[in-house]
């Protein structure tokens, strides 16, 4: 009788241990298989981003998010600017290759200098125009010059799902609890090496970070301020591709990455409290 009981307990204990072991293994497997998401973003829709940024990304089969200031494109189309900006045809071609088109306002002026009505025009006006020109209403907005206040962020979030800062927390957004109204970016500047940028991607993979990278001009000759050389850019994309091919990172547009992380967050975790979501969100210009 006592022996029977002991045998039953032993069975229950080993069954319990087995269940714990299976859960542990599943946990380890699922945490090991979590791949860091990296998003490549481009502000301003300059010609160099079409000629180099987009074309080189095509070579490596990578896509990104292009933030367009609509009035700058219209000025180019009307022949009144110096062809610094790409055309709507260029933008549609980039979109057709799987890129996301986001808004970078209408006029690329500082939002905090503008009236409420002007801010609405910058936000809603650019959104409507991008939808008219590309057929898709943008969900991501990048503030010109990283110039925003808490009030402006609130206005942006009336129209868009995601607001991107210029260089907030060096692009390291915690995947499990990123702030949709303040997605930080790592701006690639002309003093950075490809190893530094790819090192950030490896670190992201180690620490469950959604890394959002920002490029401005991608020039053929020597890179000035807000520019990188096409050569350095290609080296960065080449190692990005290697990291992706080896399953360490997954390159996705901001919209796709954020929507996927949102779904994951909503299914696994409760939404984090507001105070946790709101880190440092001061203007950056």
Q: Which residues bind Zn ion (CB under 5 A)?
A: 43-44, 144
Q: Is 209 helix (H, G, I), strand (E, B) or coil?
A: strand
- The dihedral through the CA atoms of 248, 250, 251, 256 has a sign that is negative
Residue nearest to Zn ion (CB): 43
Which whole-number Å values give the CA distances from 249 to 8, 179, 214, in the listed order? 48, 21, 17
Start-end of H helices in 60-169: 70-77, 88-96, 116-120, 126-134, 150-159
Q: Structure tokens of 170?
A: 């060096």
Kindly tell me which of 53 and 144 has the beta carbon lying closer to Zn ion. 144
Smallest gap from Cβ 78 to Zn ion, in A, equals 20
- Helices 88-96 and 126-134 cross at an angle (nearest 10°) of 70
Q: How would you classify the pairing of strands 209-215 and 217-219?
A: unpaired
Shortest Å distance, C-beta 43 to Zn ion: 4
CB 129 → Zn ion: shortest distance, Å?
A: 17
Nearest distance from residue 39's CB to Zn ion, in Å?
A: 17
42 vs 99, beta carbon nearer Zn ion: 42
Query: Cβ closer to Zn ion: 43 or 129?
Result: 43
- Of 145, 149, 197, 151, the closest CA to residue 167 belongs to 145
Nearer to Zn ion, 46 or 244 (CB): 46
> 195: Cβ–Cβ under 8 A, 6 or more apart, which residues?
none
Nearer to Zn ion, 43 or 187 (CB): 43
CB of 26 to Zn ion, least distance (A): 45
Rounded Cα distance, 170 and 140, in Å: 19
Q: Give the residue with the Cβ less far from Zn ion, 66 or 239.
A: 66
Q: How far is the CB of 104 from Zn ion (least distance, A)?
A: 6
Q: Which residue lies nearer to Zn ion by CB, 44 or 129?
A: 44
Half-sphere exposure of 200 (CA within 13 A, CB side): 24
Look at residues 232, 178, 180 and name the one whose alpha carbon lies nearest to residue 210: 178
C-beta of 108: minimal distance to Zn ion in Å?
Answer: 6
Nearer to Zn ion by Cβ, of 44 and 179: the residue is: 44
Q: Alpha-carbon Rg of the chain, whole angstroms?
A: 23
Is the CB of residue 62 less than 8 Å from the CB of residue 94?
Answer: no
Least distance (Å) between residue 239 CB and Zn ion: 26
């Amino acid at each position: 009788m006592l022996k029977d009981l002991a045998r039953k307990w032993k069975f229950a204990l080993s069954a319990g241990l087995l269940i714990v072991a299976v859960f542990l293994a599943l946990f380890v497997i699922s945490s090991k298989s979590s791949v860091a998401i990296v998003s490549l973003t481009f502000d301003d829709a300059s010609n160099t981003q079409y000629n180099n940024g987009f074309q080189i990304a095509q070579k490596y089969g990578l896509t990104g998010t292009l933030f367009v200031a609509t009035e700058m494109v219209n000025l180019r189309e009307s022949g009144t600017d110096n062809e610094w900006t790409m055309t709507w045809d260029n933008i549609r071609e980039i979109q057709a290759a799987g890129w996301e088109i986001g808004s970078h306002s209408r006029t690329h002026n500082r939002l905090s200098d503008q009236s409420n009505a002007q801010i609405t025009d910058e936000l809603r006006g650019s959104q409507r125009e991008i939808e008219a020109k590309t057929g898709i209403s943008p969900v991501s907005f990048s503030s010109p010059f990283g110039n925003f206040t808490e009030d402006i962020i609130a206005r942006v979030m009336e129209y868009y799902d995601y607001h991107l800062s210029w260089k907030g927390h060096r692009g390291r957004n915690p995947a499990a609890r990123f702030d949709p109204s303040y997605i930080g970016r790592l701006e690639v500047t002309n003093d950075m090496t490809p190893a530094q940028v790819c090192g950030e991607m490896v670190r992201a993979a180690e620490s469950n970070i959604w890394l959002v990278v920002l490029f401005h001009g991608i020039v053929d000759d020597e890179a000035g301020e807000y520019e990188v050389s096409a050569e350095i850019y290609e080296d960065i994309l080449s190692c990005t591709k290697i990291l992706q091919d080896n399953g360490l990172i997954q390159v996705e547009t901001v919209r796709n990455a954020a929507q996927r992380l949102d779904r994951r967050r909503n299914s696994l975790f409760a939404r984090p409290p507001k105070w946790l979501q709101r880190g440092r969100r001061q203007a950056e210009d």
